[in-house]
Amino acid sequence: MITLDADPFEYRFSIETAALVIIDMQRDFIERGGFGETLGNDVTRLQAIVSAVQGVLHAWRAAGGFVVHTREAHRPDLSDCPAAKRRRGNPSLRIGDRGPMGRILVAGEPGSEIVPALAAIDGELVIDKPGKGAFYATPLHDELQRRGIAQLVVMGVTTEVCVQTTLREANDRGYECLLVEDGTESYFPEFKAATLAMIRAQGAIVGWTAQSARLLAALPR
């Protein structure tokens, strides 16, 4: 069992029963011309965490841990995209429209791919999800249960949308979750800070948080 100095108190996990879950580190959120930018956001904030996420990913792989990557990506016919989701907001391009990286948030298009520095390798699970949460309408829970996973170490974007929704879904399903503070980011710094505070409040009501340096120091080499 590994014990991590986390907030609001120690987080315990074993590399055999934990999964590293990396949420939506896709070109559509992180690069210019994707979904994030069509909504008027500055994507450079998200680009800044790629190296921290990569550091944890490499250390987790070296420790022999299981890795899950998620992508917010719809079927090409958009049959899994509610009309209300497509209508929402005032983006310059809507889900399914063609942009500089192909059709926005559509599986198989260049924009829906994970950024090259974090691409999945053989043996890692990649989940395409139609919602913000990674458990909604996906096989994720079954895949984790099948492998005896009980703890999730989570990174990715954006902190208050897909990351927070996934953490809450996971918590309700009985997983103990740690969010890596410098491995997640939002287009809005105040939303990131509020999310971290909400997660660890009231005695880890949703989960724990810690800087990646603490996790890296605790992982077996």
Kindly list the residues in this chain that would bind ligand C5J in the complex (CB under 6 A): 24, 29, 72, 132, 157-158, 161-162
24 alpha carbon, distance to own chain's centre:
5
81 counts as catalytic: no
77 counts as catalytic: no
User: Least CB distance from residue 161 to ligand C5J, whole Å?
Assistant: 3
- Cβ proximity to ligand C5J: between 158 and 212 the closer is 158
97 counts as catalytic: no
Query: How far is it, in rounded angstroms, from Cα 105 to Cα 83?
Result: 14
User: Least CB distance from residue 91 to ligand C5J, whole Å?
Assistant: 10
- Cβ proximity to ligand C5J: between 166 and 212 the closer is 166
User: Least CB distance from residue 55 to ligand C5J, whole Å?
Assistant: 21
Check 28, 81, 129, 182 and give the catalytic one: 129
Query: How far is it, in rounded angstroms, from Cα 94 to Cα 73?
Result: 13
Check 24, 28, 128, 182 and give the catalytic one: 24
Give Cα separations from 16 to 132, 151, 169, 207 (angstroms).
Answer: 27, 10, 22, 19
User: Least CB distance from residue 153 to ligand C5J, whole Å?
Assistant: 18
- Cβ proximity to ligand C5J: between 72 and 113 the closer is 72
- Cβ proximity to ligand C5J: between 11 and 31 the closer is 31
Tokens of 176: 């103990």
User: Least CB distance from residue 117 to ligand C5J, whole Å?
Assistant: 17
19 alpha carbon, distance to own chain's centre:
12
Query: How far is it, in rounded angstroms, from Cα 65 to Cα 132?
Result: 25
Compute the half-sphere exposure of residue 116: CA atoms within 13 Å on the CB side of its CA.
1
Torsion angle of C-alpha atoms 136, 138, 139, 142, degrees rounded to 10:
0
Compute the half-sphere exposure of residue 202: CA atoms within 13 Å on the CB side of its CA.
4
Query: How far is it, in rounded angstroms, from Cα 72 to Cα 85?
Result: 12
Check 128, 162, 177, 182 and give the catalytic one: 162
- Cβ proximity to ligand C5J: between 163 and 219 the closer is 163
Active site residues: 24, 129, 162
